[in-house]
Amino acid sequence: MQKKAKARLAKDRMMAECEQDIVLFIFGLRINNWWKIHQWLPLLLMIPKIFKQLYQNPQLGF
């Protein structure tokens, strides 16, 4: 049986030059235990609602 390769995290800090002010918001969800659906499902279901609100109200930061 073959072992799966683990994902490697980038430990470096990265920057980009930009002529205007910019804010980067990274939204993610890590599921450690699939069988504990009560812990991660509510968060997963919130993501589309958050994006919808941000699209409708760009002044909130989208």
Cβ–Cβ < 8 Å for 58, 49: no
- Give one DSSP letter per residue of 7-20, joined into a string: PPPP-S------SS
Entry pTM? 0.51
pLDDT value at 1 more than 70:
no
User: Which pLDDT tens digit goes with each residue over 29-53?
Assistant: 888 899 999 998 998 899 889 889 8
The distance in angstroms from the start CA to the end CA of the chain is 45
